[in-house]
Amino acid sequence: MTVNFRSIFEVTRDEWLGGLKLAEEDIPDVVIMEGSWWRDARQKMRLKHLSDVRELGFPDIFWGRWKDKKVVFCMAYGAPRAVEVSQMFAGLGCKLVVQIGTCGGLQPQLKPGDIIVPDLIRCEDGVAEHYTKDGLTRADPDWVERAANALKARDRTVYVGPHVTFASLFAETVEMYETWHKDGLLSVEMEAATSIAAARRFGVPGVALVVVWDELTAGRRFMDPMAPEDLAELDISNEAVFTAALELTEQST
């Protein structure tokens, strides 16, 4: 008896386009993903910036236009979902993958509303490791610089440096925070390593822009109270990372 195993890596281009109900000429220039519990509110906030918006053949993946560019936006919470979107569109030939969202700060100088643009990301999410050889993934240096400049132009405090993507917010421990802090990592979240690693697997550059929410070195988690001025900065930066992503979209060629 012959057994013919077939993995997702063998899905053909025509099969992906058919499943997505996407024409060849509508393959997006840029894919923007966001990880958040507040899916409905964030999705409405982001899609209002785009025109000609439509949901594709797979749920919660939206196609639209930003000026003369084609954009796909998806609320993708956690690495298992992020890898699907990144891999599909990188495999189809998009030009850039951008991950936005929030993160926990691992160094005491970080305040709510500061933005991390990771350059080197430690893969501890259980997915990105399958797309790398050394447990690390690297954001594209040129796009890291462009992203940082776009955010600074919006009067945001930006840090470029090492970051870790972990499997679950709920599984993080104090011991992990202490180790990551001592290792000099700036921040932790749940999607960036995988989004970028999957894109790199198909030769597509990736970059992440993540806003500091939790002040982990001060013992403040996302459910703990935040000063009104800090909450205001968080809100400003959550808007800034998306508008900066759209600016990067304009630069994609």
Rounded alpha-carbon distances, angstroms, from residue 26 to 21, 76, 130, 155 = 10, 21, 29, 34
pLDDT for the residue numbered 6: 86
pLDDT for the residue numbered 50: 98
The reported pTM is: 0.96
147 backbone dihedrals φ, ψ, rounded to 5°: -65, -45
pLDDT for the residue numbered 190: 98
Residue with tokens 């797979």: 58
* Euclidean distance between CA atoms 9 and 187, whole angstroms: 31
CATH number of 11-251: 3.40.50.1580
pLDDT in tens, the chain (253 residues): 888 898 999 999 999 999 999 999 999 999 999 999 999 999 999 999 999 999 999 999 999 999 999 999 999 999 999 999 999 999 999 999 999 999 999 999 999 999 999 999 999 999 999 999 899 999 999 999 999 999 999 999 999 999 999 999 999 999 999 999 999 999 999 999 999 999 999 999 999 999 999 999 999 998 899 999 999 999 999 999 999 999 999 999 8
Report H helices in the chain. Answer: 13-20, 39-47, 79-92, 141-152, 174-182, 192-201, 228-251
Closest CA to 122 of 107, 102, 137, 105: 137
Residues 28/96, Cβ–Cβ less than 8 Å: no
pLDDT for the residue numbered 53: 98
pLDDT for the residue numbered 1: 82
Give me the residue spans of the domains in the chain.
Answer: 11-251
pLDDT for the residue numbered 46: 98
pLDDT for the residue numbered 140: 97
pLDDT for the residue numbered 32: 98
